[in-house]
Structure 1
């Protein structure tokens, strides 16, 4: 068995029996409403992560299906940061009552250890939920999340300093630890585990498999490959100057406005003018990060049969 730098030896699925419905509801009361009438609401389909593992791409592809509606804002985060807004607000996140509603919020698998708030709330509101969990090389995922924060201007520390000092970067790469919280409320067969490499290699087949898992029926739908969304990049000197000048929110608004107003043929040249490729993960940093995730990856494979790529000894 690999080393256990994260102290995961105490986490064993065998010690996590499923809770009865009355136990789960008692731990997290759901907001109540008498005016929600959609037979498909609340949603029974969830893309729960991992962050920076293709959730945006898969959500956009599933939304093509005539039986599936992904939340209008791709990440409602209702069961995490927006719980207090209430169920009526959550309903407005879905534009129409299709047969299958999908909430794609990677934040649901970014919880600190022992925090089962999200799965408890989902169970209280929708005990028949099904989950798609995309998993990526945990070191690459962590590296991508770090550069996302660097690009936004919120992170100026080195990779190792940021990862050491800010647990946010590693929580979402502990796939086994995140999964155990959900397994206290939902059986393993309610989860479809999708490797990031499968999505990038054949997004159409991955979307079709995901749609079937969520319960889409009838004539086989032909998905359209839309290309990768939210690809990693960083701003160059000009892009950083503009971001510092206008602030993160103002710069993002200006970028979106330009993409709507300018002809499509100008989108790529404009992006190249203010960005450059994200640096590759070095071998030394890969080894350093891999040591943090190896024990968790080993246990994740024991439970799911899926080995996360890129972790030595997993």
Structure 2
């Protein structure tokens, strides 16, 4: 990234930060409430490359659920400066629906412009249902790197995973699920955050969807949202570019160093949710 691009990005983040601080101080409450009838009443908060788009697409088939017009609006973060009118328009066609939702995986990123996302959501929307879908941490990293490599010309090679500040923050830290979950539990009670795995959704879609619908206060009729009992095909937008990149290979040293970062967090995440210790295999 050029120095000019870095400066532009820094200024954009600064203005976003300033706008969010004003919002958290209550200075935007009157603006937000003008669009209260269009607010979402549930959000899928991530994680990236874990079938969030697939889940949002499936839920949009429900007659009582509307998903935002823009996939990943990222409003409670970098796009906050677009304003409440823009955000309200994301749900303008769903005012008749009982449930309106969006899916923005950046809401569980460690990027500076999303550091206040949990608090911002809580301040404006109150305690609403949040869905956190996660994937085997190493498989998620592989997919995320392929996504970047396929779309960004100067994306470093996989063996630079931990030497590149950008890759480490965006790709590796995206698998620190417990760290992100605890950020949200500071502002939301545990019962308002439903966690599930990509592997469970893929292997048992009806069971997983029934649990989500029940969590959202709807009848458990997940089978009606599937096509011949199956999830939709992979998201074309999400796989753009990634399909042209070969799956990366882990060297023993890179895998060891990466696991030193993510495995303790993963084990804490599994323990917090009372998921089996062997949910994810590391070999």
Alignment of 1:297-308 (within 5 A): 297-306=266-275, 307=277
Name the SS of the counterpart of 1:222 in structure 2: helix
Partner of 1:50: 47
Kindly indicate which of the two structures has a greater share of residues assigned to helix.
2
Equivalent-residue separation in structure 1 for 2:108 and 2:269 (angstroms): 14
Alignment of 1:1-80 (within 5 A): 30-33=28-31, 35-36=34-35, 38=37, 41-80=38-77
Tell me by how many angstroms 1:289 deviates: 2.4
Name the SS of the counterpart of 2:147 in structure 1: helix
Counterpart contact for 2:42–2:130, Cα < 8 Å = yes
Tell me by how many angstroms 1:279 deviates: 1.6
Partner of 2:94: 96
Is 2:281 the counterpart of 1:310? yes
Is 2:172 the counterpart of 1:170? yes
Counterpart contact for 2:179–2:265, Cα < 8 Å = yes
Unaligned 5+ residue runs, structure 1?
A: 1-24, 237-274
Partner of 1:126: 125
Is 2:234 the counterpart of 1:229? yes
Change over 3 Å in CA distance of 1:104–1:122 after alignment to 2: same
Structure number with larger C-alpha Rg: 1
Unaligned 5+ residue runs, structure 2?
A: 1-22
Partner residue of 2:202 out of 200, 203, 217:
200
Change over 3 Å in CA distance of 1:220–1:297 after alignment to 2: closer
- Aligned residues between the structures: 248
Tell me by how many angstroms 1:286 deviates: 4.0
Equivalent-residue separation in structure 2 for 1:53 and 1:203 (angstroms): 14
Name the SS of the counterpart of 2:150 in structure 1: helix
| Higher RCO (CA < 8 A, seq sep 6+) | 1
Equivalent-residue separation in structure 2 for 1:113 and 1:309 (angstroms): 29
Give TM-score, length-normalised by structure 2: 0.77
Equivalent-residue separation in structure 1 for 2:61 and 2:244 (angstroms): 31
Change over 3 Å in CA distance of 1:161–1:84 after alignment to 2: same
Partner of 1:290: 259
Equivalent-residue separation in structure 1 for 2:79 and 2:114 (angstroms): 16
